[in-house]
Amino acid sequence: MTIRDSLMKFLLQEDVNFLLTNRLPRRALTTAMGRLAKVETPIVAQPMMRAWRFFSGADLSEAAEPSYKSLRDAFVRALKPGARTYDPDPNVLASPCDANVGAGGTIDGDKLYQIKGAPYALSDLIPDPAVAARVRDGRYITLRLTAGMYHRFHAPSALRVRRVTYLSGDCWNVNPIALKRVEKLFCKNERAVIEADLPDGVPILLVPVAAILVAGIRLNFLDTEKLLREQGSTPVACDVSVARGEEMGWFEHGSTIIVFTPPGFELADGVGEGSAIRAGQALMRRSV
């Protein structure tokens, strides 16, 4: 067993992992990481990037640039043109991001799951009852972006973005270990509700959820110079068209996106808890 394998085995023990990523001062660590990640001084940036690649297994072979000055630039890297292709079927919702698939399926009225055996309420995640009602009894799928993954997310279909609501909150880790232990975790964390319509007017919701060490969420169709949290909690009305596969925003570290649809969709073949998916691959398909 290599040194890396031994370290990862130790860090992945549930008690150790939960202690290191959740019982330490989460917000302070996240703020500190946001600042350190922007440092371009080689004596600071290069060891941080080596450590990140060592522990995360990040693969930069598809990155648009051969090297980066800071850890933050490596996190939010763009990919080479054509690195991701989007399923062209208009009845398909493509995955908006590279991810590991978490809980998903049918929303039972207001009830869904963050992980098997750990329910939460749609109305707790999305406090506006009128917005939550649009996907009641519909479908959902949880997509977790790990630290080494490509961190940008894209339109799963041609969309018209109608409104964005920022919800302040904590920054619990969103890995399976924390999801098993922290009740209603997604409802406690910082997040945004992106309301959009498909070309025929059918609504969908994208809910990016921040986590520990996520220094920010930025959205291309708003002001990317500002973190989403800096724009405040007042809902922002939009009328922005985005093409299938067009970049919508990015996380400044790994996190989660939950995709919601009304009834009439089903998960695509091969999409299930524990599977891996890449941006552009079929995620959901119209069933009616």
Cα atoms found within 13 Å of the Cα of residue 241, Cβ hemisphere only: 4
Alpha-carbon gap, residue 136 to 122, rounded angstroms: 8
d(CA 122, CA 187): 9
Q: Which position among 70, 87, 95, 98 bears the catalytic label?
A: 98
- Do β-strands 111-115 and 118-121 pair in parallel, antiparallel, or remain unpaired? antiparallel
Q: Which amino acid is at 228?
A: L
Active-site annotation holds for 255 = yes
In sign, the C-alpha dihedral spanning 177, 16, 169, 284 is negative
Contact call for residues 140 and 112 (beta carbons, < 8 A): yes
Spot the catalytic one: 95, 154, 157, 253: 154
Instruction: Specify which residues 160 forms β-bridges with.
Output: 197, 241
- CB 254, CB 134: distance < 8 Å: no
Q: Which of 70, 95, 157, 255 is catalytic?
A: 255
Q: Tell me if residue 56 is catalytic.
A: no
| Dihedral, CA of residue 94, residue 100, residue 103 and residue 109, to nearest 10 | -30
* 3-state SS, residue 142: strand
Catalytic residue positions, numbered: 98, 154, 255
